[in-house]
């Protein structure tokens, strides 16, 4: 159960994150969607909904249903705004893939072109020329450090990197990054993406750097750690997902807390699993939303953003164990149910990198991974 003290710690975290960033980027079971009904005539979203309904479609990309409760979010959006088809592109794509999808479809108004993206923080500002500026109606309650002043991108939620462990396969649960080098974990540890393109995998390297003598300004120690992990035979060159963890093919997955906790819910005790936030290297990863500058359905994209940043949308993310951007404002107004608040783990020890630190680390890790680590991380066949 979270205490008031922790609530204040979380508030402080958001303030610190906002200050630092300004100085310089599977969910729980889906909730039952409400019955579909047309918005009332006096609904402030009525005109936008009418325009979006005329477009008839919203194309999303890289939104697995077990990530941040996106399955529940998508169902709730469709129920609230009937007549808009949600076209889900490549749910397992990484942030780099999302950016490339925008670039590849600049002149394509068909269903292959994404309208919206959800990418790692370091993919926001450098790609703003690919985004359409739009400020949602709740804009003022998004911390300044989690959004671009001109509305090109805006933070949506954050999580903390940790270890999801199938304890039926590996009952000796690692408690810190250094533990992963133990021979008992030979052939058991995997990244949740390709570190050359995936934000989640890149930031696992940054977290490892913090735990191994590196810093937010220099992630070289993280690359060295993964080189050692690979040389020891402990790193599996496969992209981890909850299915592979459940089957025991990947006993230890490096992933965000919300993905891991959602996985444990979905396993329902078969297999038994635990999630650990490591003792050192507690790294908070912020993701951001943006609308493609070439969106075939711009009004549907804007309506989607309005839904995500409403209290309803933010609470749906929280049900998937994510810490949403507007959490501080919502707690201050007393709109976060206590039982929902109690589900979230204590992440008061996590550190928030600045945008510059993220961009610098991303450049280092994506360009030096092959040379320093030499592990070709690929999706399972």
The predicted pLDDT at position 43 comes to: 77
Tell me the CB-side half-sphere exposure of residue 157, using CA atoms within 13 A.
27
**Same domain, yes or no: 189 and 118:** no
Do residue 22 and residue 95 come from a single domain? yes
Q: ω into residue 161 within 30 of 0, thus cis?
A: no
Residue 346 within any structural domain of the chain: no
* Number of domains composing the chain: 2
Same domain, 240 and 102: no
Are both 198 and 99 inside the same structural domain? Answer: no
Which residues neighbour 28 within 8 Å (Cβ) at sequence distance 6 or greater?
69, 72, 261, 262, 265, 319, 320, 321, 343
**Cα 84-88-92 angle, rounded to 5 deg:** 160
Residue 347 is assigned to a structural domain of this protein: no
In a domain, 349, yes or no: no
Check residue 34 and give its pLDDT.
Answer: 44
CATH of residue 52's domain is 3.40.190.10
Please tell me the predicted confidence (pLDDT) of residue 5.
33
Q: Is 174 part of a structural domain of the chain?
A: yes
Q: 291 and 277 share a domain?
A: no
Can you give the residue range of the structural domain that contains 110?
4-158+285-341
The per-residue pLDDT for 173 is: 98
pLDDT, residue 111, reads: 95
- 3-class secondary structure, 207: helix
CA angle 106, 110, 111 (to 5 degrees): 110
Q: What per-residue confidence (pLDDT) applies to 250? A: 98
Instruction: Establish if 380 belongs to a structural domain.
Output: no
pLDDT at 37: 52
Per run of 10 residues, the mean pLDDT along the chain (length 381 residues) is 35 37 36 50 86 98 96 98 98 94 96 97 95 98 93 96 98 98 98 95 97 97 98 98 96 97 96 97 96 98 98 97 94 94 87 92 97 95 78
Whether residue 28 is found in the same domain as residue 128: yes
- Element (DSSP H or E) covering residue 266: helix 257-267
Residue 377 lies in a domain: no
What's the pLDDT score for residue 363? 97
Q: How many residues does the chain have?
A: 381
Token pair 């009904």 is found at 37
């Amino acid at each position: 159960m979270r205490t008031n003290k922790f609530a204040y710690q979380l508030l402080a975290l958001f303030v610190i994150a906002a200050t630092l960033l300004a100085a310089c980027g599977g969910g729980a079971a889906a909730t039952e969607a409400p019955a579909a009904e047309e918005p009332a005539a006096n609904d402030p979203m009525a005109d936008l909904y009418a325009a979006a309904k005329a477009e008839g479609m919203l194309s999303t990309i890289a939104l697995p249903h077990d990530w941040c409760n996106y399955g529940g979010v998508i169902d709730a959006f469709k129920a609230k705004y009937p007549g808009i088809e949600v076209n889900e592109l490549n749910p397992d794509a990484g942030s780099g893939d999302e950016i490339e999808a925008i670039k590849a479809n600049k002149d394509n108004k068909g269903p292959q072109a994404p309208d919206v993206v959800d990418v790692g923080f370091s993919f926001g500002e450098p790609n703003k020329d690919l985004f359409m500026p739009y400020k949602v109606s709740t804009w003022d309650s998004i911390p300044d450090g989690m959004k671009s002043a001109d509305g090109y991108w805006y933070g949506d939620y954050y999580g903390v990197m940790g270890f999801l462990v199938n304890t039926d396969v590996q009952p000796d649960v690692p408690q810190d990054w250094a533990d992963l080098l133990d021979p008992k974990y030979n052939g058991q540890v995997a990244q949740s993406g390709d570190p050359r393109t995936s934000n989640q995998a890149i930031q696992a390297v940054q977290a490892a750097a913090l735990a191994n003598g590196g810093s937010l300004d220099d992630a070289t120690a993280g690359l060295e750690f993964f080189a050692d992990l690979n040389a020891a035979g402990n790193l599996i060159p496969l992209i981890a997902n909850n299915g592979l963890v459940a089957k025991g093919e990947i006993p230890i997955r490096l992933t965000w807390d919300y993905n891991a906790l959602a996985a444990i819910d979905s396993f329902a005790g078969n297999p038994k699993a635990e999630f650990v936030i490591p003792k050192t290297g507690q790294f908070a990863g912020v993701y951001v939303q943006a609308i493609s500058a070439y969106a075939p359905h711009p009004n549907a994209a804007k309506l989607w953003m309005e839904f995500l940043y409403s209290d309803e949308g933010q609470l749906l993310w929280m049900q998937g164990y994510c810490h949403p951007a507007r959490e501080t404002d919502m707690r201050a107004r007393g709109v976060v149910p206590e039982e929902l608040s109690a589900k979230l783990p204590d992440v008061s020890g996590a550190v928030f990198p600045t945008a510059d630190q993220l961009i610098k680390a991303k450049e280092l890790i994506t360009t030096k991974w092959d040379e320093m680590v030499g592990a070709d991380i690929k999706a399972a066949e």
